[in-house]
Homo-oligomer: A and B are copies of this chain.
Amino acid sequence: MSTLLSNQKICGKSREDFLAAIGAFHGWKAPGLVIGGFMVDLAQELIGPGVETDAVVESRHCLPDAIQIFTPCTVGNGWLKILDWDKFALCLYDRHGLKGYRIWLDIEKLGKYPNLYNWYMRLVPKKSLPLELLLDDILAAGRAILSYQAVTMTGLYQREKKSETGICPSCKEAYTLTQGDRCRACQGEAYYISN
Residue ranges of A at the interface with B (Cβ–Cβ < 8 Å): 25-27, 30, 33, 56, 58, 60-66, 68, 72, 74-79, 82-83, 85-89, 91, 99, 102, 104-108, 120-122, 149-157, 162, 164-165, 167, 172-176, 178-179, 183-185, 189-195
Contact = CB atoms under 8 A, between A and B. Distances in A.
Contact of A86 (B79, B157, B176): B176
Contact of A76 (B61, B151, B167, B193): B61
22 contacts: A25-B68, A60-B75, A61-B78, A62-B76, A64-B76, A65-B76, A68-B76, A75-B75, A87-B173, A87-B174, A88-B174, A102-B192, A106-B173, A107-B173, A108-B172, A120-B165, A120-B174, A121-B165, A122-B162, A122-B164, A151-B193, A151-B195
B179 A85 contact: yes
A184 B77 contact: no
B149 A86 contact: no
A73 B165 CA distance: 28
A107 B169 CA distance: 13
A150 B75 CA distance: 27
A3 B76 CA distance: 26
Contacts of A63: 76
A38 to B, nearest CB: 15
